[in-house]
């Protein structure tokens, strides 16, 4: 989400869903567009049973990936929210400088 904050020139890299903003009794500014985010919920499933070499029953497990899609709004798009932070702008990350720091 940091790249969205940088690309859209938001002052903070923090986002809320519509429900979260409503819970804090805040409103989204008129005309604001949210950003879609995807969270993958991973569930473990039992696919079946089989016998192993020691003639014991074993369960075969698989995973089920379920996408959950939400629309989030940056706190700059929400009216009435007071947010105290030492940061005034979203931090700009330059990969080359970060790599040089790691190597040093």
Per-residue pLDDT tens over the stretch 56-102? 677 777 788 899 999 999 999 998 777 665 555 556 667 778 788 88
pLDDT at 52: 66
| Count of domains for the chain | 1
Q: What is the largest CA-CA distance in the chain?
A: 66
Model confidence pLDDT, tens digit, residues 18-61: 998 888 888 898 999 999 999 999 887 766 766 666 666 777 77
pTM score, two decimals? Answer: 0.59
Percent of the chain with pLDDT over 70: 79
With a cut of 60, say whether residue 103 has pLDDT above it: yes
- Domain extent at residue 69: 2-103
Instruction: Count CB atoms within 10 A of the CB of residue 37.
Output: 14
Burial class (CB in 10 A: 0-12, 13-18, 19+), 51: exposed
Indicate the SS3 state at residue 94: coil
> Which of left, alpha, beta for 84 (phi over 0: left; psi -120 to 50: alpha)?
beta
Per-residue pLDDT at 42: 87
């Amino acid at each position: 989400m940091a790249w969205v904050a940088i690309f859209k020139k938001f002052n903070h890299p923090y986002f809320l869903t519509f429900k979260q903003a409503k819970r804090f009794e805040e409103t989204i500014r008129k005309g604001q567009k949210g950003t879609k985010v995807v969270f993958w919920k991973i569930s473990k499933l039992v696919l079946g049973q089989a016998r192993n070499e020691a003639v014991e029953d074993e369960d075969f497990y698989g995973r089920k990936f379920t996408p959950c899609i939400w629309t989030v709004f940056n706190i700059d798009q929400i009216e009435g929210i007071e947010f105290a932070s030492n940061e005034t702008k979203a931090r700009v990350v330059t990969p080359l400088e970060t790599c040089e720091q790691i190597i040093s």
